[in-house]
Structure 1
């Protein structure tokens, strides 16, 4: 508006009229325009703040490193299972007892750095592999079979139930590494051990899969376990039955997300404020509470992960934030495109097309990441299939072996919005 006024003034030939009009505009009109522009900016800021991404504090970041590279002082990454940071210990007496009774014994876990379809083919083949149990007294031949390691998947399922008990919406966890671990299970061998023998090393030869085998890896995520004490005495709640236990968060950091880790039936609900977490419970005594802190990542120039950092964080733009705040799904291809491209993982994958197909029993290329979410209204059998076709974008990072896993993450997130279909992913 100011430019328009100045342009009109510059075209006036009568200098006297130009001087009078400029004085009038400067004293009245331009001030009114600036006032209106400031009001518009305030309204814009208010709209963007109200539709901001309030759930970003609970975004989960995951990574992985070698055991010898694990930094116990890392700013925001912690082991999913603390025992992974300890060296492997094998009880020989347990090994002998299990073999004599014909039982299976999981020895250790392996990470297979190959595409998911290859892992599926290997697990379904039910093959056995040869290995050696090396002790301080000699070598013993053993037979090993690979089975899926579900320990990290169970940790994600536990986190899902904690989200529910804390009254927070669930967002699919993008942890492609968790689905590539397998257990080396001892199923047989000629092992005759003396009492004084000690295990020094266990080796397994995976034949054509040997090039993909990785050992001594520690999956990480930005979740730290804390024990927070109630600040002060419990206060009777408004219902005069329960008590409010306030957990101050200033000391541990207000920028992080907090989840009360408990299955205690005494907890009724949990309230949140910027500076404290309030647990409403039937307990009338001050107590400490087990809490999961979802740590906000910080940039650090010290240390480097062996495997790239992944997350389920969505881009912080107005359209994505507004769509999440509405809680309604638009049944259109455009909505599916918006959901997929709102995640950072879409840097490697691009949705090319989608197609609705009749039910089929054929296995899909992708897998469901939220199997623990039960649908008591719809049955999976007989659902029409929504097939999402992707193309892989070549970037500077070589993540081709994670392509199907990243595609499974995006498809699983779309599945939560379209439960009437069985969502599947495939390459275009």
Structure 2
């Protein structure tokens, strides 16, 4: 703009007119031009200073740990539920009252350390087992059944909606342990004769599942819940309607991923800066914000994990980065093989065949890890089956079918017009 004005001035031959116009331009228009250029520069800085979300900052790592072995000062692993750190107790009086009303009563929750195909029978039916309760009044025989505990699957569902509120792309959480927890329900048998009896012990005999039974197990992941307060006072946003709330990340670590958990009506937009989070919200007062810190894993030389640490981390490759920059689904078997092999969790699996079928045959050994994501466009019964056959590169792990389920669930998100299933080749 300054060059245009200078060119126009130089074309005026009358020096008096040129001098007068130069004074007018210098006093009015140049200040306006400089003001506009300054605003454009500030806007450009804000745009380029916003940190591009790096996918690996939101990778979720999970494992399993015995309650008594939880490290409260672990570098990056935390219990999925804080309540799991406390021992679970069973109130015999309330349980007995439920039984007297003809209801099933929860006695405990256990973990079954076996693969998915062995758990199918428990998931489909209401098989009962023999048990005993030991009280101050003696030992009584009872009858129990197992019901899948959905507590940790619901936590993954909550995490999914938090990702949506933060406009962060969802990637299936590879949690092979979440679906292997079962509630032990007291369905019948002898009951305590006195209300004063105290429960001493519960014994459950699971027949062929007895060898897989584990008590007091706690799922762990790399998500820490924080409560962060505004830095200073909220300032009006550019729209003059909302306000910007700044949360400093210097103390908690700028290398980690962060998600804001709050009322969706109070969050208009969230942008990540190098050392802070900016929340644009209609809320005009300072306050505390609930934030999920997705901690980056760090190698530790002390101790080791009893159960395998797995994640939904993708392998670093040019084709992977290019496909994420240009998200076009290529409907070819080569693209399916690329997706299946793009995760670190797929190192133990090899995709060998893809087959399209009209109907299910019950031979699949996988399950959907995103049951909370629904397809409101297509009817499930009208979809064809995409059968993915894998070959295992190792055989000693009880979570191989769960790792396969994770890979199949990710492929399902790319091909929603099919029902994706996995089986062994």
User: TM-score range, shorter-chain basis?
Assistant: 0.7 to 0.9
| CA deviation map 1:349-399 (0-9, x unaligned) | 10011111223474732111112112121121111111111000127xx31
**Counterpart in the other structure of 1:411:** 408
Q: 1: distance between equivalents of 2:131 and 2:70?
A: 28
Instruction: Tell me the equivalent position of 1:239.
Output: 239
Is 2:293 the partner of 1:296? no
Greater Cα shift, 127-136 or 224-233: 127-136
Rounded to whole Å, the distance in 2 between the matches of 1:411 and 1:139 is 47
1:200 matched residue in structure 2: 200
Query: C-alpha separation between the residues in 2 aligned to 1:132 and 1:393?
Result: 42
Separation in structure 2 between the aligned mates of residue 366 and residue 374 of structure 1, nearest angstrom: 18
Q: Which residue of 2 aligns with 1:140?
A: 140
User: Could you tell me how far apart the structure 1 residues matched to 2:340 and 2:240 are?
Assistant: 46
How far does the alpha carbon of each residue in 1:270-311 deviate from its partner, in whole angstroms, 9 at most, with x for none?
Answer: 111121111111111000101110000000011221100010
CA-based RMSD: 1.6
Work out whether residues 176 and 406 of structure 1, in 8 Å CA contact, stay in contact via their aligned partners in 2: yes
TM-score calculated relative to the size of structure 2: 0.85
Q: Indicate conservation of the 8 Å contact 1:113/1:212, yes or no.
A: yes
Name the SS of the counterpart of 1:102 in structure 2.
coil
**Residue 402 of structure 1, CA deviation:** 1.2
Q: Which residue of 1 aligns with 2:17?
A: none
Contact 1:95 1:105 in 2 (8 A): yes
Question: Secondary structure, in 3 states, of the residue corresponding to 2:57?
Answer: helix
Name 1:157's counterpart in structure 2.
157
Residues in 1 aligned to 2:370 and 2:405: alpha-carbon distance in whole angstroms: 10
- Contact 2:122–2:147 (CA<8 Å) still a contact in 1? no
After TM superposition, the structure 1 stretch with the greater mean CA deviation from structure 2, 359-368 or 378-387, is: 359-368
Structure 1 residue 356 and structure 2 residue 356: aligned?
yes
1:53 and 1:321 in contact (8 A); partners too = no
Residues 1:251 and 2:248 are matched in the alignment? no
Q: What is the rounded CA distance, in whole Å, between the counterparts of 2:101 and 2:213 in structure 1? A: 30
Q: What is residue 75 of structure 2 aligned with on the other side?
A: 75
Deviation at 1:76, TM superposition (A): 0.6
Q: Relative to structure 1, is the Cα distance of residues 337 and 91 closer, same or farther in structure 2, using a 3 angstrom cutoff?
A: same
Deviations 1:395-422, CA, capped at 9 Å, x for gaps: 7xx31x2121111100000010111111
Q: Residue 15 of structure 1 corresponds to which residue in structure 2?
A: none
Aligned 8 A contact 1:249 1:276 in 2? yes
Give how far 1:198 is off: 2.4
Tell me how far 1:193 sits from its aligned partner: 4.9
Between 163-172 and 333-342, the greater mean CA deviation after superposition: 333-342
How far does residue 122 in structure 1 lie from its aligned partner after superposition?
A: 2.6
CA distance 1:59–1:347, change in 2 (3 Å): same
State the partner residue of 2:399: 402
Q: 1:114 to 1:312 in 2, by over 3 A?
A: same
| 1:182-331 equivalences in 2 (<5 Å) | 182-331=182-331
Aligned to 1:48: none
Q: For the Cα contact (< 8 Å) 2:245–2:280, is it kept in 1?
A: yes
| Deviation of 1:191 (Å) | 1.5
Corresponding position: 1:372 with 2:369: no
Partner of 1:382: 382
Q: Is contact 1:359–1:382 with CA below 8 Å preserved after alignment?
A: no
What does the per-residue CA deviation read over 1:73-115, in whole Å, with 9 as the maximum and x for residues that have no partner? 1111111112222112111221111010011122211111112
2 CA distance for matches of 1:203 and 1:79?
Answer: 26
**Is contact 1:92-1:193 (8 Å) kept?**
no
Q: Partners in 1 of 2:415 and 2:251 — Cα distance?
A: 41
Q: Distance in 2 between matches of 1:109 and 1:234?
A: 46
SS in 1 for 2:172: coil
CA contact (8 A) 1:114 1:212 kept: yes
